[in-house]
């Protein structure tokens, strides 16, 4: 990595375009991981398991009759994301948005990854 290289990133203006971008990035990452396993990191797989793990957590909490724990876990997640974002940026508004962006990212990454694992695209161009 060269520290003097400037890389421009396009910031998506609408949530739907961000969701579609993350969904497609997940599909592409898992396609690349099929070709070269070193391109698929454990964090990619962990984010891909977001939806299955959330469903398993909800089922487990319902099974043990501890649904009161679910809102506490959600609030803990939101607070942790907010706190970490605030420590990093020292700005209030980005810190408020960050938990929602992380949730959207993980859910749509998980959808894209599951789509590619269960129903892989035949054409690598994505058509």
**99-102 contacts at long range (C-beta below 8 A, 24 or more positions apart):** 101/18
Q: What is the pTM of this model?
A: 0.82
Count, residues in the chain: 127
**Domain-wise residue ranges, the chain:** 15-118
Q: State both tokens at 17.
A: 């375009």
126: left (phi over 0), alpha (psi -120 to 50) or beta: left
**SS3 category, 91:** coil
- State the helix-helix crossing angle for 50-63 and 69-89, rounded to 10 degrees: 140
pLDDT at 7: 72
Q: State both tokens at 72.
A: 């506490």
Kindly report the number of other CB atoms within 10 A of residue 101's CB atom: 15
Has residue 93 got a pLDDT over 80? yes
Percent of the chain predicted with pLDDT > 90: 75
- How far apart CA 72 and CA 109 sit, in angstroms, is 24
* Cβ pair 11, 67 in contact under 8 A: no
Q: What's the chain's average pLDDT? A: 90
Confidence of residue 5 (pLDDT cuts 50, 70, 90): confident
């Amino acid at each position: 990595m060269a520290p003097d290289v400037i890389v421009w990133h396009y910031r998506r203006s609408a949530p739907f375009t961000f969701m579609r971008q993350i969904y497609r990035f997940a599909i592409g990452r898992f396609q690349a991981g099929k070709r070269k396993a070193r391109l698929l990191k454990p964090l990619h797989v962990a984010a891909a398991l977001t939806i299955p793990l959330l469903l398993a957590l909800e089922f487990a909490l319902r099974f043990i009759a501890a649904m009161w724990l679910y809102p506490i876990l959600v609030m803990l997640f939101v607070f942790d994301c907010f706190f970490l974002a605030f420590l990093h940026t020292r700005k209030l508004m980005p810190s408020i948005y960050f938990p929602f962006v992380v949730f959207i990212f993980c859910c749509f990454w998980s959808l894209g990854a599951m789509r590619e694992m269960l129903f892989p695209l035949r054409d690598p161009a994505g058509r």
